[in-house]
Amino acid sequence: MRLLPLLTAVLVAAILAVAIMYRGALVAFANGASFEEAVAIAEGSAPPPAAAEADAAAAEPEPEAGAPAAAEDDTAPQPVSVVAMRSTATEVDGAVVLRGQTEAARQVELRAETSGRVISNPLRKGAEVQEGDLVCELDPGTREASLSEAQARLAEARASVPSSEARVEEAKAALEEALINQNAAQKLSEGGYASDTRVASANAAVRSAEAGIAAAESGLSTVSAAIQSAEAAVAAAEREIDRLTVEAPFGGLLESDAAEIGSLLQTGGLCATIIQLDPIKLVGYIPETEVDRVTTGARAGARLAAGAREVVGEVTFLSRSADPQTRTFRVEITVPNPDLSIRDGQTVEIGIEAEGAQAHLLPQSALTLDDDGTLGVRIVGADSMAEFVPIDVMRDTARGMWVTGLPDQADVIIIGQEYVVSGVPVAPTFQEPTQ
């Protein structure tokens, strides 16, 4: 078990010894010398290539003054062959492109406001309804009788008003008579023609008449309260009867069957669901880097994923509050949909009109990253040197990437950009942008 490691150690030591002893021969062979020259160097009969070159350089005569300079150093960096394209900036509309979905303009669940048995035939899902159409009707039961009772109480309360008002007038007349008697008794008493007892009796009559007025007015107030209570009972009974019919609040389509005839609906029970698809909303979410480019009322277009249909509308809502998870802002575009062909929940690609910019159309493969991870492209700069230019992607299309950040005229390296860095000389071969 220990023999193999021992033999390996001996073999490695022998190889290292040979490499040290014949280092000059190995270096010469690695630099391109023939096997015979390497053997001669190992035996000591020939000098190493470095010494021979030094002796040759010493023996070579110095160039005379005014003589032409020697040929260029073969070690100078050679230009790297690349393929480039001459790109010219073009005015591009600055549409903000995002993906979203369609949503119904309005959607509501019709629910019962009272309990009762359904007595109307159900409307089936997909049926079109107009504003005010009957969707569900409930059995009135004893509600009409309750309304009649409340109306009778109201009539009775109103009938008692004249008698109550008459009592008030009668009490006022009694008070006026008592005041006259009181005044007469006081004057006769001052002249010595009436006793104090008569004056006291007149004063008591006045107080009794005042109490009668208060009682009559209280009775009239009670009648007024009874009238108001009866009116409230009538209104409640009428409202309860109105709740027996569930009507469409707006025109649209039934998204579910209406409640079946004979079924019992409790308060809050679902009658039907109605959606309005004309107009329809296109909903998307804009990143915070693009939200300042969009304004309410801006023209917008969209392409539906199904059938590649294109529609046009305008921005009607832009959220002022970002979604806390995605940091994006909700935007809504209203689009006419008279034939109801656009459905709720379809995927759409939205383009919102914004201010344009000068941009270059480049193939996606031309984009690269520098050492810091900055997105950009490499161009052929002055003196045919490669340069890195940071860019911003404006739009991604099937033809390529629209980018900004480059000068109006730029020679963009599209093949070989990954093999050069800034300052490296290049030998570009130009390709037409249409190729």
CATH code where residue 376 lies: 2.40.420.20
- The pLDDT of residue 117: 94
Q: Higher pLDDT residue, 195 or 64?
A: 195
Same domain, 410 and 343: no
Do 319 and 287 lie in a common domain? yes
pLDDT bin (cut points 50, 70, 90) of residue 271 is very high
Backbone angles phi, psi at 119, to 5 degrees: -120, 5
For residue 42, being part of any structural domain is answered with: yes
Residue 344's alpha-carbon distances to 280, 299, 329, 332, 336, in angstroms, are: 8, 21, 21, 14, 13
According to DSSP, the residues that pair with 284 across neighbouring strands are: 100, 331
CATH label of the domain that carries residue 334? 2.40.30.170
Residue 209 lies in domain: 140-243
- If asked whether residues 239 and 327 sit together in one domain, one would say no
Whether pLDDT at 211 is above 70? yes
Calpha distance 385→425 (Å, rounded): 4
Q: Which of the listed residues 221, 243, 265 is the one where a domain comes to its end?
A: 243
Residue 216 maps to a domain:
yes
One domain, residues 371 and 415? yes
| Helix axes 3-21 and 23-30, enclosed angle (nearest 10) | 80
List, in sequence order, every residue forming a beta bridge with 330; answer none if it has no partner. Answer: 285
* DSSP letter (8 states) at residue 274: E
pTM above 0.85, yes or no: no
Q: Are residues 376 and 343 in the same domain?
A: no
Specify the pLDDT at position 97: 84
The residue-averaged pLDDT of 321-347 equals 92
Average pLDDT over residues 18-27: 66
Given a contact cutoff of 8 angstroms between Cβ atoms, the answer to whether 421 and 73 are in contact is no
pLDDT digits (tens, 9 = 90+) for 406-418: 998 999 999 988 8
In a domain, 119, yes or no: no
What are the tokens at 358?
């000068």
* Alpha carbons 291 and 259: distance in angstroms, whole number: 45
State the amino acid at position 323 in one-letter form: D
Give the tokens for residue 199. 């004056």
Same domain, 232 and 153: yes
Residues 159 and 224 in one domain: yes
Bridging pattern class, strands 80-88 and 426-431: parallel
pLDDT of residue 314: 93
In a domain, 10, yes or no: yes
- Using a 10 angstrom Cβ sphere, with 0-12 exposed, 13-18 middle and 19 or more buried, the burial of residue 233 is middle
Q: What Å distances lie between residue 85 and 409, 412, 420, CA to CA?
A: 10, 5, 16
Q: Is the bond preceding 279 in cis, omega lying within 30 degrees of 0?
A: yes
Distance CA 259, CA 378 (A): 68
- What is the band of 51 on the pLDDT scale with cuts at 50, 70, 90? very low
pLDDT, average across residues 182-187:
79
**Number of folded domains in the chain?**
4
Q: Is the pLDDT of residue 71 over 70?
A: no
At residue 343, what are phi and psi to the nearest 5 degrees? -95, 165
Same domain assignment for residues 330 and 315: yes
For residue 301, the number of C-alpha atoms closer than 13 Å in the C-beta half-sphere is 7
Taking every pair of Cα atoms in the chain, the longest distance, rounded to a whole number of angstroms, is: 179
